[in-house]
A and B are shown apart, each in its own frame.
Chain A
Amino acid sequence: MQIRNFIAPGWIAGLAVGIFCATTTSLQAQTETPQTPQDTLTSAEEEDYSQYDNIGFAAEGAKRYCSPKIEGLSPAKLISIGYDYQMGYAMKADTFRRLGSAAPPMPDSARILTSNGMRFGCNIPVISRTDLVWQMGANYWEQRYKFEDPSALKNPMLTSLSENGLRTMGINTTLFKPLNDVKFLLFQGSADLSGDYQFGKFMPLKYTKYSAALIYGKRTSEKKQWGVGVARTYRVGELNYIPIIFYNSTDVANKWGTEILFPARAHVRRTINSRNMLFAGYELEGQSYRLWRSNDPTGFNLRNEDVEIRRGEIRLRAVYEFSLKDFIWMSIQAGYRINYRYDVDRLGNGKEIYRAFGLASDAPYVMVNQLTNPLYFNISLNLVSP
């Protein structure tokens, strides 16, 4: 990386001064600053800074726009590579009711020793202007399940989890549109393909899940921004349309702050210094996973059942983020994973069920599964944004 040290060692600076003074003596009269390109000025070169108080834009009609960030906010992650590890827990799988048959029930209970997987994400600025910021990103998450006795599993959902695990692969985009120096619009959208698929046996793209959020907000000071909006989300497993609240703040002393996108996540931030931060809070995590398995040794073809696991969980957690070196940050989190939902819906040809928490539909789940709640850990290396 071409990262420069902005403070030259003393002997280099001295040499630079000497060479510079020797070659540009006459130029001194033309420049009000010394020839030493130091980081700060000496008293001899101080100038009357009050002359810069009452100046204006040279161009007529130039406008100021608010920034997408506030002071003290944790740095945005351009690239992230991580590993997520859940400790052991029990899963009690409901009877799997096969499509169009009165097959005998197949309830199953199993002990999962661990579920874990790699997580990769990137978010790259495409357009970065004063009046528009556009970023594109991609993500890949996997969750592998290690059962205590995989040979004893009878339920086809459990056997698929054991053999294939779950994956989410997707793309996302973020648009920040400042309206003036205070008001802004923020749009986030994502398209994810989630299921028990394997790379050699990909799922049709028609099962892609689309999520989006639109926020209208205000950046009321250098240390506070808030907003309200709506979201289409799968964060608790099934489709929902919900109101959202956005609130980031930093206190006067730059020690405490909040980073909130409610209800998706909310954290209190404790800033040790600009390169060491602690967080406490929660995140809702989840997705709807198409069961696409076709490798059951009994010949049972799960993909014909049109079913999806509605996985949603609450992660209560403490997070420590710090700079390892320059722009390489590490994030270490530990917490408690609380199962919110791990139920199964039958979605004919991928057609969604929208329940609106029971207000729009009372369609029953195909399976209502129960999970106990384990401790979890997550560690990631991140390249953070300027």
Chain B
Amino acid sequence: MLLVLLAGVLTAFVQQNPESDRLMGVWEPSNGRARVKIEKIGAKYYGKFVWLKEPIDPATGQPKTDKNNPDPSMKNVPLKGYRMLKDFVYKGNNEWADGTIYDPLNGSTYSCTIKMTNANTLDIRGYIGVSALGRTDVWKRMVVK
């Protein structure tokens, strides 16, 4: 009974937030080097690498790892599956904020906002401190054809 009630509450919750859930899905950054799957965990959104254009590190012949991470304990973690978008909260007006984006090319994490410009396009802005000191990348939604 309790489970049914809880399921009902959650269903109602999800139905109240279909707009925010439009962020979920698989997206490709502009460079085409990776694909990122954005999921919802609790009330926040997270994105992980699910596809890499070059999955093998030519220097080692092994699957790429997060070797540029400044934390030595993370350097051997596989990049595929790595959560590079974290903690995004829907703010309304097609915008998700309060999150971070991780760049495995330099091991840096930036503040980040996501703006959905249309159903299949995201403006992902990583910045340092203030939004003006940043860069926007355009991501496209990917689907099974």
Q: What is A's interface to B at a CB cutoff of 8 Å?
A: 1-7, 20, 23-27, 30-35, 37-41, 46-47, 49, 51-59, 62, 64-67, 71-72, 75, 78-79, 124-125, 128-131, 181, 222, 252-254, 273-275, 326-327, 383, 385-386
B18-50 vs A, Cβ < 8 Å mask (1 yes, 0 no): 000000001010111101010111101010101
Query: Given known contacts A37-B41, A39-B77, A386-B128, is B32 in contact with A64 (CB within 8 Å)?
Result: yes
Mostly helix, strand, loop or mixed at chain A's interface? loop
A-B contact pairs, 9 of them (CB 8 A): A4-B100, A37-B41, A37-B86, A55-B35, A55-B144, A56-B142, A58-B140, A58-B142, A386-B127
Question: Could you list 11 further interchain pairs (A-B, Cβ under 8 angstroms) beyond the known A41-B81, A386-B127?
Answer: A3-B109, A4-B100, A30-B14, A51-B144, A54-B145, A57-B143, A130-B137, A130-B138, A222-B53, A252-B58, A253-B59
Query: Given known contacts A6-B100, A37-B87, A55-B144, is B106 in contact with A75 (CB within 8 Å)?
Result: yes
CA of A37 to CA of B100 in the docked complex: distance in angstroms? Answer: 12
CA of A292 to CA of B92 in the docked complex: distance in angstroms? Answer: 57
Residues of A within 8 A of B6 (CB): 25-26
| Interface flag for B1 (CB, 8 Å) | no
| Interface flag for B132 (CB, 8 Å) | yes
Q: What is B's interface to A at a CB cutoff of 8 Å?
A: 3, 6-7, 10, 14, 26, 28, 30-33, 35, 37, 39-42, 44, 46, 48, 50-51, 53-54, 58-59, 68, 70-71, 74, 77-78, 80-83, 86-87, 100, 102-103, 105-111, 118-121, 125-129, 132-138, 140-145
Residues of A within 8 A of B10 (CB): 26-27, 30
Query: Given known contacts A52-B26, A128-B137, A274-B106, is B7 in contact with A26 (CB within 8 Å)?
Result: yes
Q: Are A58 and B120 in contact (CB under 8 A)?
A: yes
Q: Are A125 and B42 in contact (CB under 8 A)?
A: no
CA of A59 to CA of B77 in the docked complex: distance in angstroms? Answer: 33
Chain B residue at minimal CB-CB distance from A326:
B108
Chain B proximity of A330: nearest CB distance (Å): 16
A23, A54, A327: residue with the most chain B Cβ atoms closer than 10 Å: A327
Q: Are A38 and B141 in contact (CB under 8 A)?
A: no
Chain B proximity of A129: nearest CB distance (Å): 6
Query: Given known contacts A7-B74, A27-B42, A46-B81, is B133 in contact with A383 (CB within 8 Å)?
Result: yes
Q: Are B78 and A56 in contact (CB under 8 A)?
A: no
Contact of A55 among B59, B86, B109, B142 (CB under 8 A): B142
Residues of B within 8 A of A385 (CB): 133, 135
Residues of A within 8 A of B41 (CB): 20, 24, 31, 33-35, 37
